[in-house]
Amino acid sequence: MAKHVLIDAYVSVNGVVLSDHTATVQFVTGIRPVPAAAMSELQDYDMPSTIFVSPISVRFFQDYAASSVYATIQPLVVNRSTVPLIVKPTSGADSATNPAFTINVFVASKPLISGARGDGHMIDVVFQPAGALTYDVT
């Protein structure tokens, strides 16, 4: 079985590719547990319920140029917009080994400025899911 090293992740926000400004990305899904133990049972256990998508965290190198990080994300906050977010393991074509994970999101939080003197200016943006997650492998 092949192992994957994340060196070329693809991140697109509202159709703007920000991969070249992305330092880290975390996209988590799972199954919500539902308590299943009945009144007479002495052990607690769960049953699987609905699939959830946690908020998606992306750390960007901040950039105030046109069509870059600030110009792409700040209007989404001001306008309270819901937009597509696409994340892939690599920038290559969609395939079974490079699925495109697409979900509509809104910006839950975004710093305007973050860092200390001499730091690389990074911002941690949290995108809140606002629709169903799709997987494209074609």
Full DSSP string of 15-83 = TEE-GGGEEEEE--EEEEEEE---TT-SS--EEEEEEEEPPEEEEEE---STTSHHHHHHHHHHTT--E
pLDDT given at position 2: 77
Whether residue 3 is contained in a domain is answered as: no
Bridge partner list, 35? 46
Distance CA 74, CA 72 (A): 6
Whether residue 96 is contained in a domain is answered as: yes
Residue-wise pLDDT tens digits, 33-63: 999 999 999 999 999 999 999 999 999 999 9
Residue 137 has pLDDT above 90, yes or no: no
Whether residue 5 is contained in a domain is answered as: no
Task: Supply the range of the domain harboring residue 121.
Answer: 10-136
pLDDT given at position 1: 56
Whether residue 116 is contained in a domain is answered as: yes
pTM: 0.91
CATH label of the domain that carries residue 90: 2.30.110
Whether residue 34 is contained in a domain is answered as: yes
User: To 5 degrees, how large is the angle CA 112–CA 55–CA 4?
Assistant: 105
Residue-wise pLDDT tens digits, 66-122: 999 999 999 999 999 999 999 999 999 999 999 999 999 999 999 999 999 999 999
Structurally, the chain folds into a number of domains equal to 1
Whether residue 2 is contained in a domain is answered as: no
pLDDT given at position 136: 85
